Chains A and B, each alone.
Chain A
Amino acid sequence: EAGVTQFPSHSVIEKGQTVTLRCDPISGHDNLYWYRRVMGKEIKFLLHFVKESKQDESGMPNNRFLAERTGGTYSTLKVQPAELEDSGVYFCASSLGGNTEAFFGQGTRLTVV
Chain B
Amino acid sequence: AQSVTQLGSHVSVSEGALVLLRCNYSSSVPPYLFWYVQYPNQGLQLLLKYTSAATLVKGINGFEAEFKKSETSFHLTKPSAHMSDAAEYFCAVSEGTYKYIFGTGTRLKVLA
Interfacial residues, chain A to chain B (CB-CB below 8 A): 3-4, 9, 31, 33, 35, 40-45, 48, 56, 91, 93, 95, 98-99, 101-107
Contact = CB atoms under 8 A, between A and B. Distances in A.
B41 A106 contact: yes
Interface in B31-47: 36, 41-46
B102 A101 contact: no
A-B pairs with the 8 shortest C-beta distances? Answer: A104-B44, A43-B102, A106-B43, A104-B43, A42-B102, A42-B104, A105-B43, A45-B99
A43 B43 CA distance: 13
Given A91-B43, A98-B98, A104-B43, 17 more contacts: A3-B43, A9-B41, A31-B98, A40-B9, A42-B102, A42-B103, A42-B104, A42-B105, A43-B92, A44-B102, A95-B98, A98-B97, A99-B96, A99-B97, A101-B46, A102-B100, A103-B46
Contacts, number: 53
Nearest to A101: B46
Chain B interface bracket (under 10, 10 to 19, 20 to 34, 35 or more): 20 to 34
A104 B49 contact: no
A33 B90 contact: no
Interface string B81-95: 000000000101000
At the interface, is chain B mostly helix, strand, loop or mixed?
loop
27 contacts: A4-B43, A9-B41, A31-B98, A33-B98, A35-B100, A35-B102, A40-B104, A42-B4, A42-B101, A42-B104, A43-B102, A44-B102, A45-B99, A45-B101, A48-B99, A91-B43, A91-B44, A93-B44, A99-B96, A102-B98, A103-B43, A104-B43, A104-B44, A104-B45, A105-B43, A106-B43, A107-B43
